[in-house]
Amino acid sequence: MKKAKIGVLFLTAAVALSILLAACFSDWTGDTVGETALITINLGGGTSRNPNTWTGPNIVDENILHTIKIGGATVGTGVKIGDNPTYKVRTGSHTVEVRGYDPDTDALLSYAENSINVTVAGPNTCTMPMKQAFEAANNPDWGTAATTISGGGSREYYIFVTSPFNIPSPGSASPSSPFGSVTGITVNIRGNSTITFEGSNSFTIGPNQTVILKDVSLKGTQNNYNPLVSVYGTFKMEGSASVKDNLPGGVNVFSGGTFTMSGGTITGNTGNTGSGDCGGVNVASGGTFIMSGGTIRGNRNINGGGVYINGGSFTMSGGIITDNTATMDGGGVYVGDGIFDISAAGAKYNEWVTSNHADPSQVTTLNVFQVGGTIKRYASPNDPNHDFDVSEGGGW
């Protein structure tokens, strides 16, 4: 009987000791075997913005509450910028995840999360290169964001455009990326407002740079030197984004560049009467244009008012190209060289590329005109006209 009581006492003492140890270590994980290494989490400056009045989602640094996971297990909640908590882990490799939440709504903030792998053998500081967010209500705000991004290294950024503003002409005909030559960046530009590029200004996306435009309008002028958007990296249009009202042209996709359009509108752009190589979109040799949604409407060019394929590749699986005008051939799409792939199963090419305009004295194909390259169209067994030759006059 006494032995049983002693056993109970030892068990109670062990439980009490475990509770005491757990209380002493806020980073207690429940399994201390081999936990001889330490990870200090530094949020790397965290999410930031310009110190202007912000009326949208609350993205002020000190208010964001972060949850931290190591190896899939939650080890910390309510962590703020500057807390720099330390956690015990086993030596070896670990995945560290950080997610930021709005303190008022508990909503996950997509720009305040990151995940990296870290290998530790002892005390180690794990710096998390968190995404940064900026408010841009005017040109100085935009300049601050662009300068920070150009020197901020490879990471993801958000720019929230809260008011319409103009970017003055740089006085140069040579376009350059607002984000400099930094590579490995992803810049999300969001909002429901307009950025107007004045004079010889344009928006260039450099090699290994990704820009995602959502619900923001980029507006040009009628005296520009360049297409409004020049793509050497990756450009994505989503939501109600637009590229509009520029001479010469809307989007020019160069070699190595990829333009993906899942939403938005390209409209009111006019090609240069001298070269005529870009109305709505020009796809140069080595460039790629992928369209699954959105609208290309009301653009003008000598050839290919909507899209001019000049050696690159254009794959269309949705969206609409309509009411564009060519003063010569191919009001909707002009295939000079390269590939126009509209072969997705069930492609409704006569609905997707429709009601465009061309000079009736030149050809009878107003929507798509081909002088070279390849057109790949959905080969429906009930459609006798699914094949196009590469000679002049192919198209519809």
DSSP assignment string, 3-30: HHHHHHHHHHHHHHHHHHHHHH-TT--S
Answer yes or no: do 115 and 194 share one domain. no
Answer yes or no: do 233 and 356 share one domain. yes
Is residue 10 in a domain?
no
Tens of pLDDT along 181-210? 999 999 999 988 999 998 777 899 999 999
Pick the closest to residue 191 from 246, 145, 152 (CA basis): 145
Tens of pLDDT along 1-32? 444 443 332 333 333 323 322 332 333 343 33
Tens of pLDDT along 298-357? 999 999 999 999 999 999 999 999 999 998 888 999 999 999 998 887 788 788 999 999
Residues of the domain holding 95: 27-127
CA distance 122 to 88: 10
What's the CATH code of the domain at 334? 2.160.20
CA distance 80 to 57: 17
Helix (H, G, I), strand (E, B) or coil at 275: coil
Answer yes or no: do 218 and 93 share one domain. no
Mean confidence (pLDDT) of the chain: 78
Q: How confident is the model at residue 223 (pLDDT cuts 50, 70, 90)?
A: confident
Domain final residue, candidates 66, 94, 127: 127
CA torsion 312-354-325-396 (nearest 10°) is: 70
User: Picking from 32-41, 349-358, 385-394, which range would have the lowest pLDDT averaged per residue?
Assistant: 385-394
Answer yes or no: do 306 and 188 share one domain. yes
Instruction: Give yes or no for residue 54 having a pLDDT over 50.
Output: no
E strand or H helix at 150 = helix 139-150
Is residue 22 in a domain?
no
Amino acid at residue number 241: A
Answer yes or no: do 272 and 299 share one domain. yes
pLDDT of residue 276: 54
Answer yes or no: do 240 and 316 share one domain. yes
pLDDT of residue 329: 85
Rama region for 208: left / alpha / beta (φ>0; ψ in -120 to 50; rest): left
Answer yes or no: do 117 and 168 share one domain. no
DSSP letter (8 states) at residue 139 = H
Instruction: Give yes or no for residue 104 having a pLDDT over 70.
Output: yes
Instruction: Give yes or no for residue 275 having a pLDDT over 60.
Output: no
Answer yes or no: do 53 and 164 share one domain. no
pLDDT of residue 364: 52
Answer yes or no: do 116 and 220 share one domain. no
More confident position, 32 or 148? 148
Q: How confident is the model at residue 262 (pLDDT cuts 50, 70, 90)?
A: very high
Q: Averaged over 249-260, what is the pLDDT?
A: 97
Is residue 316 in a domain?
yes
